Structures are given as structure tokens and as C-alpha cells.
Chain A
Amino acid sequence: MLKLIAATLGMAAVLPAMAHAECAEVSQGDLSISAAWSRATIGTARPAVFYVTIQNNGSTEDRLIGIETPVAGMPMLHETVLSDGVASMPHADQISIAAGETVSLAPGSYHGMLMDLNEALTEGESFPMTLQFQNAGTLTIDTDVVSIREREAPCAPAP
């Protein structure tokens, strides 16, 4: 009985920690990137999406200038722009992360558009994404594939 209580208490302590552990975080230089996620796709015909949170802990601006991943032949940075109720999706050459700021690639804003998918993205799986920064160099993060119906990052970005 005591063992059972101990096990239950142990689980209660571990489960929340596990939930957070799913949210990978990678740091290099002044930058930390976290909460990388993507939606499952149906086949490979339509482009997938990539969202992430980037934190600049330094005192100088850095810029995200490109993304690369083995799952897509043509990954690009785009921005959804809403103007007078009309959405358009211009290519973003670079995304500035000002000193001390946090920028999220998130629904309705900046996002990675993953074209020429090499494989369908399946819920529950993950894939590596390499982000290229002007100053910090390249950082690679594990990206969680979640439901096609997900509307926000499945785990909280780094505090």
C-alpha cells in the first residue's frame, strides 16, 4: 500500500516535468530557441508549416536568415500579413530579433513554409530544423509534429 502511494506521488511529481520536457530548447551564443512545432500533413502535396520561439539574450540584434530541414526540399520564411481583412503571405528575407527581445514564428505571423515535402509529417513524430542566424550561426532544434488542428504551441516557450 505504501509502495502504491509512493509510486502515485512519484508519478504526480514526474508527469508535469515530462510535459515540459517535450519542449526542446537549444541555446548558442546569445540565442535560445524553443517550442518548435509543426502540423501533421496529409501526404506531401501541400506545404507544411514551421513555428518556433526565438529569444535574444544578448545586447545586439541578430537575424534569422534561413531554415533547412531534411523533410522539405524548399523551406522558406514567410510572413502572413493581414491588411484590411485580406491576408497575403510575402516571402520574408530575414526576421530581426532585437537585443533582449523574443520573437515567435506563430499562426497569423511569421512562419516557415515547408515546400517540396520529402515525407508526410505524422502527428507524434518529430524532425530536425536548422535555423541560420547572421551572428549566432546555425542552431538545430527538434520540431514536434502535432495535430493538423493545433492552434498554438503544444508546450510553453522557455521562460
Chain B
Amino acid sequence: MLKTIRVALWMTVPVALIGSSVMLWRADQHEQVAAFQPAFSLPDDSGAIRTAGEFEGKHLLVFFGFTNCPDICPTTMSEVAQVMEDLGPDADEVQPLFISVDPVRDRESGLSEYLAAFHPSILGLAGDEAATQAAVESFKVFYDQENDASQPGGYTMSHSSSLFLLGPRGDWLRQYTYGTPADDITADLKERL
């Protein structure tokens, strides 16, 4: 983390010099101001294309993951499920999204049944490589395929592990880093709703 901050601070030097805002996103995301609106255009399990625009008026709770991930993906989806339960009637104002970073495999095995096991409100999206890449870049997050003979299919994914929150007009609001307890997320959301 310290390294990130150090690197980010150095990054701000040329930014200040050229007065460009383009590199603002490289600053540590904790301190990032809501200055952009991530976009995505990705199919759900039925093949219908879903975009950020259709969720206007709702907060979006977005996770980038893959269903062959046995550890932090189910753990995070469990936190999201707990949040949705604890929100009670306010849950109508929050839409959780699971965007696959392993879309070919996840389309084959299907996302809906897997995500419904956590909470029926979680919507799974899995696009082609280009659309996935576009969504990831739009959220200014990261994913990569890593070859690893010890994994199913010979590869695994590394991916941003946080939950990302978008506001009712699609503005990027904040991230909740991996391990943020459901209670903390619920409390933060309730203040915003």
C-alpha cells in the first residue's frame, strides 16, 4: 500500500506540470473523487444486453470475479447477500452486479444459478472479451489471465477484489476493499439511501 501511495504521488508530478486530468485515476482509489461514470454493456444469462443506464435511480454494487474462484468470490458474494438482507426495504434501491472476468467459462456454466445461491437480487453479466475489457477499463480496475498448470483449464484469473459503488446517476462513489464486513457496507449504504 505504501508503495502504491509513493508511486501515485510521483505520478502527480507530471500531472501538475501538464495540468492534465487524464492521469487522475492513477491516484489511490481510496482518495479518488467521484469524477467519472463507469459504463458497461454486457449480456446477462438470457443474452439480454444490460447497461449502466437502465439502473438509473439505483445504487449499483459491482464486483468483478469469476465462478471458478473458490475463495474470495464466494466470500464477497456472501457479504453482498448479507448486505441485501440487512437493508430490508431499502434493498430495492440497490442492485448488486457480478461482472465475470472469465466470461467464456462462466457463460458455459451459467451465472444465474450460482449467484442465486447467494441472493436472488445479484445479477450476473458475462460478455465477450472486448466488452469485458471495456467494462474493466471503464471502472479503472484490473484483471488478467494467468497461466497455471495447477488450475482447472490451465489458467486462473487475477482481478480487483473490491466492491465498487455507483450512485443513482451512475457516478463512481467509492470502493469497499475485500474483507469489509457486511455491517459496515450496510451502514454506509443506509446513510446514502
Name A's B-contacting residues (CB within 8 A).
Answer: 39-40, 42, 45-49, 74, 76, 78, 80, 82, 84-91, 107-108, 111, 113-116, 148-151
Contact = CB atoms under 8 A, between A and B. Distances in A.
Contact of B160 (A76, A86, A107): A86
A46 B106 CA distance: 10
A108 B3 CA distance: 21
Contacts of A91: 148, 150-151
Nearest to A116: B152
A49 B72 contact: no
A86 B158 contact: yes
Given A85-B29, A150-B78, A42 B71 contact: no
A80 B71 CA distance: 7
B74 A148 contact: yes
B174 interface: no
B75 interface: yes
Contacts of B68: 46-47
B190 to A, nearest CB: 21
B117 A85 contact: no
Interface of B: 1, 3-4, 29, 67-72, 74-75, 77-79, 81-82, 109, 113-114, 117-118, 142, 146, 148, 150-152, 156, 158-162, 175, 177-179
A158 B162 CA distance: 32
Given A47-B152, A149-B118, 7 more contacts: A46-B109, A84-B3, A85-B142, A89-B69, A89-B71, A107-B72, A116-B152
9 contacts: A39-B70, A46-B114, A47-B152, A82-B161, A82-B178, A84-B3, A91-B150, A107-B75, A149-B118
Contact of B75 (A46, A85, A90, A108): A108
A150 B75 CA distance: 8
A49 B148 contact: no
A81 B150 CA distance: 16
A88 B151 CA distance: 12
Given A42-B114, A148-B118, A150-B78, A85 B67 contact: no
A131 to B, nearest CB: 17
Nearest to A112: B70
B161 A151 contact: no
Enumerate the 10 nearest inter-chain pairs by beta-carbon distance, A residue then B residue, closest first. Answer: A88-B158, A87-B161, A49-B70, A107-B75, A91-B150, A149-B78, A45-B109, A47-B70, A148-B117, A80-B71
A108 B160 contact: no
Nearest to B1: A84
A85 B162 contact: yes
B179 to A, nearest CB: 6
Nearest to A38: B70
A76 B81 CA distance: 28
A91 to B, nearest CB: 4
A75 B171 CA distance: 42
Contacts of A74: 152
